[in-house]
Amino acid sequence: MTSFLSRVLLFLFATLGLSSAAVLPRKALSARAIGTPINTALPKGKVTTSGQTVAYFGQFGDPETDSLSKFCSNTNIDIIVLAFVNVYKGAGGLPGMNMGRHCGNKIAGTDLLDCPDMGKDIIACQAAGKKVLLSLGGESAGGNSLPDDKSASDLGENLWKLFGEGKGLETKRPFGGALVDGFDIDNENKDPLGYPKLISTLRSCFKTGTKKYYLSAAPQCHMPEDSLGNAVFNVDYLFIQHYNNPSCQLGSFIDSFKSWSTNIAARTTSGTKVFAGFPGNSTAAGQGYATHDEMKKYVAAVRGLPNFGGVMVWDAVHASGNMASGKSFLQAMRDALG
């Protein structure tokens, strides 16, 4: 509360037309400065958005024309998901990778890839304010089952040592000293066993890190989802694949997304945000492609939901080359959130 003397001085300053800031208690000034800005207007030209944009990268494109650095500099992308760690226990007992044409040389004695240039691009992405996640699994992945808790905890610990801040596998790190910002689970083998343990292992590792790390998952849009099970409630982001599933794509998108939103909100353990996932062009998925305008219409119908996270696309290369009215699908995603 303001003292009697302060109230008198406030009255005198107001009468004389002077600023009252000089007589307000220091704590009152600090609370006002930190808690509620006096002027909440956004800078001129600033566009508000109701979510983030996510693009997968790694399986398509020519490294000469579609490098990771190209998408790091694209202001229409907030989160880049590298795909994939497609083998959970390969040569040398370590995970294995497939990054399309973007990185092909294996680290001796393993199925890991030696990708120093991609490591540099990851650092550049992060310097540009983007998060970089590494995706596990993939549709055609081999050897990506987790039959028991030990296999899940071993995978989590190895991922932390190879791509995070863990110690012990420094000579096997695919991206050198670059640290990813977390991991994405794109399991599509209809076997959810082990993923809750993998998530809890990674969460424990994250607590020892020097920055914030994230977990995401990319479930099919039908419910219940049979490849992730209860893991969908334990991640930070859900990138829902609203394609290749006739029961919940396009005309059924709005009802499907609202059902996901309600279900996740009721059971999440991590404040999970729900993202709408689309193919980047008509060939990026078998079915379920939405045009620029259709995608924006669908997003407009759900972006007001409390746990709406944004828009995801598979993948960056397809979306960047898909133009309509002078705008790429990536830019249309950004517009959909504006």
Domain residue limits, the chain: 1-38, 51-337
Domain 51-337 has CATH 2.40.30.30: no
| Known active-site residue 188 | yes
Sign, CA torsion 265/269/271/274:
negative
pLDDT for the residue 140: 58
Of 64, 165, 170, 188, the active-site residue reads: 188
pLDDT for the residue 286: 95
pLDDT for the residue 178: 98
Q: For residues 291 and 325, what is the distance between their CA atoms, to the nearest angstrom?
A: 12
| Secondary structure of residue 237 in the 3-state scheme | strand
**CB burial readout 5-43, b (16+ within 10 A) else e:** eeeebeeeeeeeeeeeeebeeeeeeeeeeeeeeeeeeee
> Would you give per-residue pLDDT tens digits along the chain (338 residues)?
434 444 434 444 344 444 333 333 222 222 222 232 223 333 333 334 579 999 999 999 999 999 999 999 999 999 999 999 999 999 999 999 999 999 989 999 999 999 999 999 999 999 999 999 999 999 755 568 999 999 999 999 999 999 999 999 999 999 999 999 999 999 999 999 999 999 999 999 999 999 999 999 999 999 999 999 999 999 999 999 999 999 999 999 999 999 999 999 999 999 999 999 999 999 999 999 999 999 999 999 999 999 999 999 999 999 999 999 999 999 999 999 98
Sign, CA torsion 22/26/29/34:
positive
The answer, yes or no, to whether the previous bond of 84 is cis (omega within 30 of 0) is yes
pLDDT for the residue 45: 38
CA dihedral 312, 316, 82, 294 (to 10 degrees): 20
pLDDT for the residue 182: 98
Q: Where are the alpha helices (DSSP H) in 207-291?
A: 253-267
80: left (phi over 0), alpha (psi -120 to 50) or beta: beta
Contact 154, 169 (CB under 8 A): no
Contact 316, 280 (CB under 8 A): yes
pLDDT for the residue 50: 77
Helix (H) or strand (E) holding 214: strand 214-217
Q: Comparing C-alpha atoms, which of 35, 155, 8, 6 is closest to residue 85?
A: 155
Q: For residues 160 and 168, what is the distance between their CA atoms, to the nearest angstrom?
A: 10
Quote the DSSP letter at residue 178.
-
